[in-house]
C-alpha cells in the first residue's frame, strides 16, 4: 500500500494503461488527479476509482497546452494541498513510414503530446514534488531506446523523454525526488487504433495480435510496483532486456528484431 493517501497526478487517465494505473492506485487508497482531454471518460474512471477505495478528481487537460498543464498542477494542490507523485503517461503513436507522411505537422504534434506535454507537467509540479520528496514517472516505450520502423516521430519523442528525464533525475536526486522511466513493449490498448496514419488521421484499426501482447492491467501493475520501489527504469519484455545488451555488440540484429515485430504485430 505504498500509495495510500499519496497524491498522484496522472495524465492520460481516460483509457488504456492510464485507466489501469488509476484503478491500481485507487486500490491502494491513492488520492488521484485524473487528467486527459475527454472529461466524460475521466468521470467514469473517477467513479470506479472511488469504488476501489481511492479519492479522485477530474481535470480536463490537453497536455500540449502549457497553461492547461500549469492549471492541472494548481488544481491538484488546491484539492489535496500537495503532490506526491506525477505520472506522465499521456501519449500518442503513429503507424506510417516517413516517405508516406502527407503533413509533417503530424510528427510535430506527436512531439508536443509525448515530449512537451511531459515537460510542462513536470516543470510545474517540480516545486511541490521537492516539498514532498516525491516521485516522477515517465511512461516512455521500447521505442525510446531503439529505432522502430513506422515510428520515426514517435521514437524521436520517446527518446527525447528519456534524455529529459535521465538528466532531470540527476538534478533532483539531492532533493529526494525519484525518477522512474517505464519502457513498455507492445501493450493491448486503443493506442494502436488511434495511432496517426499517413494522412495524419487515426489508423482506425489495430494491426497488432492483441491476444499475444501484454495487457494494460499487467503493464500498469509493473509501473506501480516500479514506482513504489523508486526504480530507475522498468523494462517490460525479455526482448527489450536482451536488446539493450545486444545493441552494444550487434545493433543490426536489434534492427531486424524491431522490423520483424512490426511485420508480425507482436
Ligand atoms: N500501448 C502500447 O503498446 C504502448 C507501448 C509503449 C508505450 N506506451 C505508452 O503508454 C502511454 C499510454 O498509452 P496507452 O497504450 O494507454 O494509449 P491510449 O489507450 O491511446 O491512451 C492514451 C491516453 O493519453 C491521453 N491523451 C492523448 N493525447 C492527449 C493530450 N493531447 N492531452 C492529454 N491527454 C492526452 C488519452 O486521453 P484523451 O484522448 O481523453 O485525451 C488517453 O487517456 C503512452 O505514453 C504510450 O506512448 C504504450
Q: Is residue 183 part of a domain?
A: yes
Centroid of ligand 1 to alpha carbon of 79 (angstroms): 25
For residue 1, what pLDDT band results from cuts at 50, 70 and 90?
Answer: confident
Q: Is residue 255 part of a domain?
A: no
Atom of ligand 1 nearest to the CA of 154: 47
Q: Is residue 82 part of a domain?
A: yes
**Contact (Cβ atoms closer than 8 angstroms) between residue 76 and residue 9:** yes
**Contact (Cβ atoms closer than 8 angstroms) between residue 151 and residue 143:** yes
**Contact (Cβ atoms closer than 8 angstroms) between residue 57 and residue 46:** yes
Instruction: State the average pLDDT over residues 214-231.
Output: 98
pLDDT, tens digit, for every residue of 159-202? 999 999 999 999 999 999 999 999 999 999 999 999 999 999 99
Instruction: Name the burial class of residue 212, with classes exposed (0-12), middle (13-18) and buried (19+) by CB atoms within 10 angstroms of its CB.
Output: exposed
Q: Is residue 227 part of a domain?
A: yes
Q: Kindly report the number of other CB atoms within 10 A of residue 98's CB atom.
A: 13
For atom 42 of ligand 1, the residue with the nearest CA is: 12
Whether the pLDDT of residue 214 is over 90: the answer is yes
The DSSP annotation for the chain comes to -TTTT-EEEEESTTSHHHHHHHHHHHHTT-EEEEEES-HHHHHHHHHHHHHTT-EEEEEE--TT-HHHHHHHHHHHHHHHS---EEEE-----B---GGG-S-THHHHHHHIIIIIHHHHHHHHHHHHHHHHT-EEEEE--GGGTS--TT-HHHHHHHHHHHHHHHHHHHHHGGGT-EEEEEE--SEESTHHHHSB-TTSSB--S--S-GGGSEEHHHHHHHHHHHHHTT-SEEE--HHHHHHHHHHHH-HHHHHHHHHHHHHHT-
Query: What is the pLDDT, as a whole number, of residue 95?
Result: 96
For atom 2 of ligand 1, the residue with the nearest CA is: 187
CATH of the domain at 36: 3.40.50.720
Centroid of ligand 1 to alpha carbon of 13 (angstroms): 8
**Among 21, 32, 36, residue to substitute to test ligand 1 (most atoms within 8 Å of Cβ):** 36
Closest CA to 50 of 31, 36, 63: 31
Centroid of ligand 1 to alpha carbon of 174 (angstroms): 31
pLDDT, tens digit, for every residue of 94-114? 999 999 999 999 999 999 999
Q: Is residue 13 part of a domain?
A: yes
For atom 45 of ligand 1, the residue with the nearest CA is: 91
Residue positions annotated with a catalytic role: 154
Instruction: State the average pLDDT over residues 245-256.
Output: 96
Residue 149's domain spans which residues? 7-238
Read off the C-alpha cell for 24: 491500481
Per the structure, the count of domains in the chain is 1
Q: Is residue 254 part of a domain?
A: no
Atom of ligand 1 nearest to the CA of 13: 43
Query: What is the pLDDT, as a whole number, of residue 89?
Result: 98
Q: Is residue 253 part of a domain?
A: no
Q: Is residue 149 part of a domain?
A: yes
Pocket of ligand 1 (CB under 6 A): 11-18, 36-38, 41, 61-64, 89-93, 113, 117, 139, 141, 184, 186-187, 189-191, 194
Q: The sheet that has 55-60: what strands, in order across it?
A: 55-60, 31-36, 7-11, 85-88, 135-139, 178-183, 233-235
The percent of residues above 90 in pLDDT, for the chain, comes to 99
Amino acid at each position: 500500500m505504498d500509495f495510500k493517501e499519496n497524491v498522484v497526478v496522472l495524465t492520460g487517465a481516460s483509457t488504456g494503461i492510464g485507466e489501469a494505473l488509476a484503478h491500481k492506485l485507487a486500490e491502494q487508497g491513492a488520492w488521484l488527479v485524473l487528467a486527459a482531454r475527454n472529461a466524460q471518460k475521466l468521470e467514469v474512471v473517477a467513479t470506479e476509482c472511488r469504488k476501489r477505495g481511492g479519492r479522485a478528481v477530474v481535470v480536463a487537460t490537453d497536455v500540449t497546452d502549457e497553461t492547461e498543464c500549469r492549471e492541472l498542477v494548481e488544481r491538484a494542490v488546491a484539492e489535496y494541498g500537495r503532490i506526491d507523485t506525477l505520472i506522465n503517461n499521456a501519449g500518442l503513436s503513429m503507424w506510417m513510414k516517413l516517405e508516406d507522411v502527407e503533413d509533417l505537422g503530424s510528427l510535430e504534434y506527436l512531439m508536443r503530446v509525448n515530449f512537451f506535454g511531459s515537460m510542462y507537467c513536470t516543470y510545474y509540479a517540480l516545486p511541490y514534488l521537492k516539498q514532498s520528496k516525491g516521485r516522477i514517472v515517465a511512461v516512455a516505450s521500447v521505442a525510446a531506446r531503439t529505432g522502430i520502423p513506422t515510428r520515426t516521430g514517435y521514437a524521436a519523442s520517446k527518446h527525447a523523454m528519456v534524455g529529459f528525464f535521465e538528466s532531470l533525475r540527476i538534478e533532483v536526486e539531492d532533493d529526494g525526488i525519484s525518477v522512474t522511466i517505464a519502457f513498455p513493449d507492445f501493450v493491448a490498448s486503443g493506442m494502436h487504433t488511434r495511432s496517426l496514419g499517413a494522412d495524419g488521421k487515426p489508423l482506425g484499426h489495430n494491426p497488432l495480435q492483441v491476444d499475444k501482447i501484454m495487457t494494460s492491467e499487467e503493464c500498469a501493475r509493473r509501473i506501480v510496483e516500479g514506482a513504489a520501489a523508486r526504480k530507475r527504469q522498468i523494462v517490460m519484455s525479455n526482448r527489450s532486456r536482451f536488446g539493450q545488451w545486444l545493441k552494444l555488440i550487434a545493433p543490426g540484429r536489434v534492427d531486424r528484431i524491431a522490423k520483424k515485430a512490426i511485420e508480425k504485430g507482436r
